[in-house]
Amino acid sequence: MEVTVRLFATLKDLLPEDKKKISIELEAGSTVNEVIEYFEIPQEKPLIIKVNGRHGSKSTILEDRDRVGIFPPVGGG
């Protein structure tokens, strides 16, 4: 299956240069954790995970054509 991944803030540099998002191929039944491993994001790093814009976690099971957004902790207002 294929999912679209967007990485933000300090994680943005893990994407190929000048890319805002990339599609990656994963095995059916994969979780967000596989995406995190794909980009070699250290496991201990705190993250905000959105799957199709909704709250997600490392264990969220992904489906074909899901949209994954991963952020370091951000805030403001």
Q: Which residues bind another protein (CB under 8 A)?
A: 6, 8-10, 12, 20, 46, 48, 50, 53-55, 69, 71-77
**How near is the Cβ of 23 to another protein at its closest, in Å?**
16
Cα 25 to Cα 53: distance, rounded to the nearest angstrom: 20
Closest to another protein by CB, 31 vs 67, is 67
Residue 57: CB partners within 8 Å, gap ≥ 6?
32, 49
**How near is the Cβ of 25 to another protein at its closest, in Å?**
22
Do the beta carbons of residue 62 and residue 3 sit within 8 Å? yes
